[in-house]
Chain A
Amino acid sequence: MKRIGVFVCHCGINIAETVDVKRVAEESMKMDGVAYAQDYIYMCSEPGQTLVREKIVEEKLDAIIIAACSPNLHESTFRAAAEEAGLNPWQCEIANIREQCSWVHSDREKATSKAIHIVATIVQKTRLNESLEPIPVSITKKALVIGGGIAGIQASLDIADSGYKVILVEKDSSIGGHMAQLSETFPTLDCSQCILTPKMVAAGKHPNIELMTYSEIEEVSGYVGNFKVKIRRKASFVDWSKCNGCGLCMEKCPAKVSSAFDRELATHGAIYVPFPQAVPNKPVIDKDSCIYFKTGKCRLCEKVCEIGAINFEQEDQFVEEEVGAIIVATGFETLPVADLAEYGAGDVPDLIDGLAFERLLSASGPTVGEVRRPSDGKVPKEIVFVQCAGSRDPERYKPYCSKICCMYTTKHALLYKHRVHDGQPYIFYIDIRTGGKGYEEFYHNAEEEENIIYLRGKVAKIFRDGDKTVVWGTDTLTGRNIEIAADLVVLATAVVPKDSTAELVKKLRIQTGPNGFLAEAHPKLRPVESINSGFFLAGAAQGPKDIPETVAQASGAACKVISLFSRDHLEQDPAVAWVDEDLCGSCRICISVCPYDAREYDEEKEIVIVNEALCEGCGSCVAACACGATQQRNLSDSQIKSMVTASLGGV
């Protein structure tokens, strides 16, 4: 009989406080097949792993079980340790007694009993585990980056510079993302465009980067190393290969459309580029606003375009690409002002959000950098900034801190003072959070030198009175109610995932967390990877973050992709389906349930076989097999049945 070793981890007190680890080890020793059991304070530490390796040799163990944290964390760690000691990695199993036991129960007796049952269940699986070899699969050394903001640009450049091909897909017509909208960046106050546009140009010109702007992901199939991606290239109604970017069409277009890039503070024609430094600098026609598309008459742009680049007949094109890894860098949006009922739900004039204020401050913005309020173009003399508009408010809006607002609001007040010397900025805040290099110094300078008034408290209501936008709030430090009749109010609205993220993650089949941001494989140790192999995360799509953090994460994600591509081939989990040829009745039900075409009828043998390279190991065909001919490696029906029995306290 197999000799199994059980190693029970205390995880400091994380497990040991609720689970009697010594008793778990003692009870494990009584289980059939268990030849050795031992507890240890940190099994994943080097001494812990050494203990495991030594005991495998000393006790002549054929298999080991680590009773510890979730297999998502350390299964690979312990499989590597087992392999070093000469065991086949598939002879190592994890019993999850932390996330699914000690952390969720408080009754020590019951938690200990449950932990013993969990170990007993895994012992039954381990007894029948076979030694397996990973299935080698080829790898397409080309990456897909979704999202062309600073995260996607940085990740693409890093991968491309290392010699691999990249497809950068962006749904808007230009790359640049939100960073292109910003005026100056904290804490150094360098101009956002000045540091971003060279990178945009570099991405646009890089021989290894294929830009696909005005494009969206339609379908994704396959797995790490071998994804198939269908991309919709939306009709721009302009032949970009002909267009030389002269801009005449945009000048002549009679339509007026609110500019999303300028946060509705300016307009452009129905044919437009979102901003002058766009990459690629090619216009698109907004079909919903175009007079020709609405009325059947106009085509002025077509008439003025001497090179005949306008093409009203253009249709969406679909392209299919094969890639080996995917970086998701879809960025963020801010909570719409219209969602904030107590702040007027978007109906109060001269009440804008932070991104709109960025456009007012920007030298390339609608006011050419002069701070003028939207209602009448007057320079505001009193301006109120409201932080945490929708953030840190679990009852009504978002429970989390949006992280960037303390810094950018201070920056806004500072830049406002630089432009309107006799103006008075007020900032309502809950706490000022300035974690970051040079951030606290930046804030202190603003508070002490620039005469910005910080008021600690939340704003209860904002409404219009005459030509003033009135703010009611409380200063909790003095205990007084405050009323300010302001000329302009700027809300630091919560950072939220893009609406389109929810739809995209369904196509990619990756996970999001409770607030809709992309979920990382481990919050501390695997912050740039999805739990799903081959998907990597960068930027604010994973959670609110500032530019330095975004760039760092993007380079991290790129590095993970490069490390993946540096291998000759990938190894696929061999816990796939297999067929007992003597039992197969060739009913072919398995073929109909397999989502990957991995089951095929073998004419010669007259049975249905498994194509191991295509099988993903879901086990659906195993459950469907009427005669028990199909089994899953290391998760056979007999294993499952004995696991069930053990989980219920039977043997």
Chain B
Amino acid sequence: MFEPKIVCFLCKWCTSAGADLAGTSRLKYRPNGVNIRFMCSSRVDPEHILWAFHEGADGVLIGGCHPGDCHYEDGNYKTQARVSLLNRLLDDFGIDTRRLRLEWISAAEGAKFANVMNDFTEELRSKGPLKLAVREMAK
């Protein structure tokens, strides 16, 4: 079966803590993502996302605090704005916008983190590998 590769950019305060809670609660989920921990989801530059797709990711997950809960006041709103803008360009790069997910997952939502990982993995499986022109050419 196709195993998609997922890069997960998680904020330290909410989503990475939620992922830790999934661990302490011993919830099981698909092992397709590797987490990269930032202080805030607003550290994610759209360039990082494009770079992840360039480097072989089939999906990118950004995890931040729920609206109103950002540890840095409004970082997650900036993230949302940046992701919305990037979504308008992804098509031009030949990337289905559903390969980029932005999820608000709090430190209390271990189960949500596990569900998102399972769900995203299944969705990417049904889509199949990302065939990016630049990657195909390099081959």
Contact = CB atoms under 8 A, between A and B. Distances in A.
A511 interface: yes
Chain B CB within 10 A, most for which of A104, A118, A532, A643: A104
Interface stretch (A45-53, A95-103, A466-474): A95-103
A618 B11 CA distance: 9
Nearest to B44: A623
A647 B22 contact: no
A648 B56 contact: yes
A106 B28 contact: yes
Contacts of B31: 101, 104-105, 107, 110-111, 113-114
A575 B73 CA distance: 19
B68 interface: yes
B100 interface: no
Given A100-B35, A118-B34, A595-B72, A649 B56 contact: yes
B52 A644 contact: yes
A512 B108 contact: yes
A47 to B, nearest CB: 25
A84 B81 CA distance: 44
B75 A650 contact: no
B69 to A, nearest CB: 6
A311 interface: no
Interface stretch (A29-37, A285-293, A546-554, A634-642): A634-642
Contacts of A509: 13, 69-71
Contact of A117 (B20, B34, B39, B73): B34
Interface string A140-184: 000000000000000000000000000000000000000000000
Given A511-B17, A512-B108, A648-B52, A70 B45 contact: no
A623 B22 CA distance: 29
B94 interface: no
Nearest to A640: B48
B108 A104 contact: no
B42 A623 contact: yes
A110 B20 CA distance: 19
Interface residues of B, number: 50
B53 to A, nearest CB: 10
Nearest to A522: B24
A648 B28 contact: no
B38 A619 contact: yes
A324 B108 CA distance: 27
Contacts of B78: 593, 620, 623-624
B23 A618 contact: no
Size class of the contact patch on chain A: 35 or more
B56 A531 contact: no
A606 B109 CA distance: 45
Nearest to A637: B45
A635 B38 contact: yes
Contacts of B2: none
B36 A643 contact: yes
B84 to A, nearest CB: 14
A649 B28 contact: no
Interface-centre pick from B20, B73, B109 (highest chain A CB count, 10 A)? B20
Interface string B8-22: 000001101101101
Contact of B36 (A107, A113, A644): A644
A72 B23 CA distance: 13
Interface string A494-530: 0000000000001001011110000100010000000
Interface string A559-593: 00000000000000001000000000000000001
B108 A514 contact: yes
A600 to B, nearest CB: 18
B40 interface: yes
Interface in A39-94: 70-72
A103 B24 contact: yes
A104 B56 contact: no
B42 A618 contact: yes
Contact of B5 (A575, A643, A648): A648
A616 B42 CA distance: 13
A644 B48 contact: yes
Contacts of B110: 514
A511 B51 CA distance: 32
B26 A103 contact: yes
A585 B39 CA distance: 26
A110 B30 CA distance: 9
Contacts of A523: 24
B124 interface: no
B57 interface: yes
A622 interface: yes
A103 B34 CA distance: 14
A104 B36 contact: no
B48 to A, nearest CB: 5
Contacts of A645: 51, 55
A264 B106 CA distance: 37
Interface of A: 70-72, 96, 98-101, 103-107, 110-111, 113-114, 117-118, 121, 506, 509, 511-514, 519, 523, 531-532, 575, 593, 595, 616-620, 622-624, 632, 635, 637, 640-641, 643-645, 647-650
Given A99-B22, A100-B23, A644-B51, 14 more contacts: A99-B19, A99-B24, A105-B29, A107-B31, A117-B34, A118-B34, A509-B70, A511-B14, A618-B42, A620-B42, A620-B78, A623-B82, A644-B57, A648-B55
26 contacts: A71-B37, A100-B19, A100-B35, A105-B28, A105-B29, A506-B68, A506-B69, A509-B13, A509-B70, A514-B109, A519-B107, A523-B24, A532-B13, A616-B72, A617-B39, A618-B71, A619-B39, A619-B42, A620-B42, A620-B72, A622-B45, A623-B42, A632-B43, A637-B47, A644-B7, A644-B52
Ranked nearest first, the 3 interchain pairs of A and B with the lowest CB-CB distance are A99-B23, A619-B43, A620-B42
Interface of B: 5, 7, 13-14, 16-17, 19-20, 22-24, 26-29, 31, 34-40, 42-45, 47-48, 51-52, 55-57, 68-75, 78, 82, 106-110, 114
